[in-house]
Amino acid sequence: MSEYKIPYCEVKFHPHSFGDHRMRLFRWNGQVYRGISAEGVPFFTKLFQDGVIQRLTKQGLLIDSEVTHLGIDGYEMVVRHRAICFTSYPNEWCAAMLKDAALTLIELAIELAQRGFTLGDGHPWNLLFDVDTCKPVFVDLGSILPIYESTWAAYDEFCRFCLYPLILMSHDRHQYARLLMCEDRGVLKSDILMLTPGSELSSSSPKLSLVNQLESVLRQRVPHSYRQQVKKTLNSIKLLWRKEPSELESPHLDFLENFKQKSHLSFLENLKQEIESITLPDYKTEVSEPYKQSILDFSSQDTWTVKQQILHKILTELQPASVLDLGSGTGWYSLLAAVLGSKVVAFDTDEACVTQLYNQARENNLPILPLVMDFSKPTPSRGLSKHWAIAATKRLKCDLVLALALVHHIVLERRLNFDQIVKGLAQFSRRWVVVEFIPPDDSEVVKGWSERVSWYTLDNFIDALKKRFRSVTTMPSHPDRRVLLLCEK
């Protein structure tokens, strides 16, 4: 029985939490909760009492969760979840991140299957990357169900949103994979066959029960004289299979449940091997001279450029809790910010750069969330009432935004003006922006110069910045004549 009933008017329900009538995710007093209706209370109470949730949490597979003494109209039980700082979506992850998320999902399903449970969903939107560990964690408690089938009912969904996108990505079809993942049907087998001619697809199917698979094999291998007896045995198993648990006597029920659990587990273990066998492209990125030295070694700061030294000073003095690095490249400044104590989100459109930064963050246990995203075209809000996607400007806002060697690319290649760019910077920033301006006579600008951007001057850029930031401070950068601008709201 709840000791305190939360006033309904004080909660804010999550826009993505609408498909399960048994429960709903909401925020209250700055924390994340899940309300569970009366019909789901016995099942989830037992999961907590038996220590299932706690064990999965300890293994890093499931989000930290605890039963509270709170209540809310329509939901008899309220569970508190540990909040994840930044919400990112699977279509924003590099291939290596999607593969790790898919494996985490399967590993969770395997752990559950060993205890007689399964996952009702097979899509990766139920996982979030925790910036503190740079690892995926499953967050939808409501997806846990008892095992009802020998295979996995969510297998088709897993294929469309995990397995098939990974196959596309393994053939360097990243853009197609991301676009199709955002559609209701995801990536279909026909999409794979069309986009990757000659690729091999798994023939396994959750619709074919283990009994039928067994019958097919035995028909080919068992001597004719024994087939009649084998057929009778299989028919008995099929008869049990079609019955409801309430219709079965205890010995039969125990046999069937044990059979389902073991075959379900075997199915998942084979699926895990299939995901592990997918070979992703081995990306190699070129690193320019100032950034070849490891950021994790501060012993040679005297070799740093003026730009590196000033940004180190800014990050050290301001101590932002979170930093967004736009156009992060190989991630030197993302790594710097993380080493100095900030939680970092990094955007880049280059799959190789994002993958390299992800691997570095994992290897060095750094709080970095690298994402494949174009600052000039960030993920927008999508769906009625944002039920499909919340805009990146809402989800990934940070205390300080870094936009280094980026503005000239957006002006020359995306054809946006200063006001549009500055508005975008302000939307992602809670307080500060450090943006670099590269002058018109710089070789990087000259090669793309056009008279249509004659307005591209430092004075005009500062004027645009001052419309949205109360202070703009100019600092030197590298090479000479490039300028860093520290802006504060």
* Domain contains 232: no
Same domain, 396 and 318: yes
Rounded distance, CA 328 to CA 402, Å?
9
pLDDT of residue 204: 42
pLDDT at 240: 47
- The residue assigned the tokens 């069309």 is 194
Domain with residue 23: its CATH number is 3.30.200
- For the chain (489 residues), the mean pLDDT of every run of 10, in chain order, is 82 86 92 95 96 98 97 93 97 98 98 95 97 97 87 92 96 96 93 82 45 52 61 55 48 49 84 95 65 59 90 97 97 96 98 96 96 97 85 98 98 97 99 98 92 96 98 96 98
What is the phi/psi pair of residue 484, to 5°? -100, 140
Lookup: tokens for 6: 């939360």
| pLDDT score at 299 | 60
Q: Are 115 and 24 within one domain?
A: no
Q: Are residues 70 and 16 in the same domain?
A: yes
pLDDT at 3: 76
Does pTM top 0.75 for this prediction? yes
CATH of the domain at 476: 3.40.50.150
Which residue, of 48, 81, 114, is where some domain finishes?
81
- Give residue 138's domain range: 85-207+243-281
Query: So what's the pLDDT on residue 20?
Result: 78
Q: Residue 224 falls within a domain, yes or no?
A: no
> Does 60 share its domain with 192?
no
Chain-centroid distance of CA 454 in Å reads 41
Residue 9, SS3 per DSSP: helix
Total domains in the chain come to 3
Which residue, of 81, 105, 130, is where some domain finishes? Answer: 81
Q: Are residues 429 and 344 in the same domain?
A: yes
User: From CA 456, how far away is CA 432, in angstroms rounded?
Assistant: 23
The answer to whether residues 274 and 314 belong to one domain is no
